[in-house]
Structures are given as structure tokens and as C-alpha cells.
Structure 1
């Protein structure tokens, strides 16, 4: 921590250094990048060494670290800061029911849960956020970890149903850009960007969506033969979610 404070102090006081990299900031409260440019600065060698060491520990680049430090000091918002705010909110919502995995990339978050099924297969929910969101905030990928062909077939059947359901309700709301893909034991879908949510609200929307989706998955796997009876309640839950957030 002391080293990190020293690095920040150096950079804030000595912003005359050579780095031919991008300084990428955004106006506070905006998801639209203001400008991305190449600048020439002059920094002391020991500052660069400290920056590189800290950047390596954080799993980021030299320019990204400097950009984040300057942005914080100048009250700007970087893509990394926006993504951190989103993921912090997601973690707050799902931490009691999911295992959160460590990630080196600021744009990724993976949470894991186990099914109440033979051998307790796990399901991973991985969120990858866009640095510069346009139509989509990012992508959610769901994977089941199992070698059982029967379980994989059940997984595919559930998500074929779920994709049809989500697309239908979103179209009723005038949203025609639902995009998803079902693969070998996997499901992925683009997370829709309405442009109306703050970073905290995006995190809430993603967290609540994952919780709703995971609940539906577990209800299905608990008793596939009775899913027809349970489906109306699950669909009601999804409609209620759409009443708060479109994601």
C-alpha cells in the first residue's frame, strides 16, 4: 500500500514524463469516451520502474495505471473505474449465493455455483464488460462443468426455452436486439445497453439477472418433468425483473 501511495504521489507531482501510450478518460457520469490520444510526457526512471512494478501486480498496463491515477486525482472516470463500480455492485448482490473467482482483468467477473444434482456439477457465470459500450454493455457466458451427455442435453433444453422467453418479452417492450448463442454445454448472450442506467444500476441489473437466471436453472434441474408447472412462476419473476431493468 505504501508503494502504491508513493507511485500516485510521484505521478501527480511529476507529470512531465516520456510515455508514448494512450491517456483515455471519460466525463464523470458518462459512458461515452471523450477522447483517446497519444501524448509525450517525461517521467523519472525510478517513477517508471515503480509504475511498471505496480502495474504488473495489478495485471494492467503502464498507461492504464497512470491513466487511472490521474483520472482519480482529476475526478474523471476511466473505463476501469466504471467496470469496477459495476462489478462491486454485482458482487454485493451475489456474494451470499455464489463463489466469486479472482480475475486479473478489470473487464471480467466470474461467479460459480453448484447444482443440487448427482455429483454436484458446477455452473459458471462469466461477465465480460465492454470498455466503450454501444448497443451492448457486455456479454454473459454460462457454462456447465460436466462430462454427462444427459446433463448437457438438459442444459441445452433449458437455455433454448429461456432464450425464446427472453426474446419474446424484450420484443414486447420494443427491444429487437436480443442476441444469444447456445454451444456445447454453454450459453452466451449480449447484455443490452439502454443508456439509461448508472454504473451502480448496471451492476444491480446484472446481479439480479444472474440470480433470476440461476434460480430458474436450478428449478429446472431439480425436476425437469415438473418444469411445466413451475414455468409460469419463473416467467412472472422474469417479467418483474424487466419492470425494473432491461439488460
Structure 2
């Protein structure tokens, strides 16, 4: 959806009210006015679609996940606790693409900690995860999965060749499924550290099962 510059004559009181509302919604005046007008003429904007997808994702996640105040129209943040001695918290930040022409969005996963030992443990998991992604998605990404693991963080671009044809619910189900899978495998990995045993094979089996069923977003 293209955008152009237009001149509007508005009452000062209306602009003040719009500005207050835009500030509370962490968006701009222009974007809020655009949203209001789009709703009035029953037009779906990219921002409206992204909010709908985020709402669908929230409904698909269980009570383990805590949704943080939305940073912007295109981004949502989720927290999840990890059973481990440092009581770490995982943060998932999902930013959706406006046009969804192939690339659905970008997911960033990070541990909120200052512990070097925990960061090293997180790096161990993310390195394992990246190897699994490259192993099982080689046909889709022959040059390597679009992901990066470093300093207790994992950044992953999510793609679908048919993204523009997917419904909001289908995109939400695919993204939520990926997050749930990663969260479950992270917990399995840290349970293994607590138990003093390597559970990489179990994590690999979970990922392999996921790849056999995923059809939309990868």
C-alpha cells in the first residue's frame, strides 16, 4: 500500500486529541489518522493486518508466555521463563513485514541476563539450533538459513513463498508454532544442563518432526 503526502485542514482541538491518542498507542499522528480513515471506509491497511496477526498469535500461546506492551504497530514482544538456576527470562521480539512479499518478518530471541555463564549456555543452544535449521532446511535455504546466533541472542528471518496469499490466521499459526517449538526446545536444553546430560538428540527429533508438518512460514 503506497503512501503520498496530502494537506488537510484540521481543528487544533482535533489535532491535540489525535496527538494524545497517537502517543498512547506509540505511533505517529499521520499513521493514526490513516488508520482512522481506513477503518471509516472499510479498508484494511498493513498496520491493521499486523495487529490482527498479533492478536491471533496471542490467542494461540499458552499461559507460559507473557505479552509485553506492543513497542510499535509492526512489532510485538513476548517473555517466557526458563527453569534454570539463574531464573532467566527469554524475550521474543517479532517484527512483521508491511508487504509480506516472501519475507513475513524477523524474530529476535534473547536472554535477559548479565551472567557470562548463562550467556555461554544460551550460545550453546542457539548454535545447536542454527545447525538443526541448516540441516533440515537445506533444500529451502541452500546458502544457509537467514539467521545469526551470538552473545546469547538469535535473530531469524521468517519466509514463505506464498506469504501474500496466506490468511492472518495461517501466518499467526505458523509463527506461533515456531516460537512454541523453540521455547520447548530451549527448556529441554536447560533441563539437560541441570541434569548433567546432553539432550541434543531429543531437540533434533522435535525439530525434525516440526519440519515434516510446517507448510506456511519457515
User: Please, what TM-score do these two structures have when normalized by structure 2?
Assistant: 0.88
> Structure 1 residue 216: deviation in Å?
0.7
Q: Tell me the residue number matched to 2:148.
A: 181
> Structure 1 residue 46: deviation in Å?
2.5
Write out per-residue CA displacement over residues 189-218 of structure 1, whole angstroms, 9 at most, x where no aligned residue.
111132242222111111111000100111
> Structure 1 residue 96: deviation in Å?
1.8
> Which of 149, 166, 173 does residue 133 from structure 2 map onto?
166
2: CA distance between counterparts of 1:236 and 1:149? 31
Distance 1:82 1:175, change over 3 A: farther
Q: Tell me the residue number matched to 2:57.
A: 90
Contact preservation (8 Å) 1:68, 1:78: yes
> How many aligned residue pairs are there?
213
> Which of 183, 206, 211 does residue 234 from structure 1 map onto?
206
Higher relative contact order (CA 8 A, sep 6+): 2
Q: Tell me the residue number matched to 2:181.
A: 212
Contact preservation (8 Å) 1:209, 1:241: no
Q: Tell me the residue number matched to 1:246.
A: 217
> Structure 1 residue 80: deviation in Å?
1.3
Q: Tell me the residue number matched to 2:78.
A: 111
Once the two structures are superposed, the pairs formed by residues 35-114 of structure 1 within 5 Å of their partners are 35-114=2-81
Aligned-residue Cα RMSD (Å) equals 2.0
2: CA distance between counterparts of 1:165 and 1:229? 10
> Which of 212, 223, 238 does residue 192 from structure 2 map onto?
223
Contact preservation (8 Å) 1:212, 1:237: no
1:151 paired with 2:118, answer yes
1: CA distance between counterparts of 2:97 and 2:206? 29
Contact preservation (8 Å) 2:189, 2:200: no
1: CA distance between counterparts of 2:159 and 2:191? 30
> Which of 166, 169, 173 does residue 197 from structure 1 map onto?
166
Structure showing greater Rg: 1
Distance 1:161 1:229, change over 3 A: closer
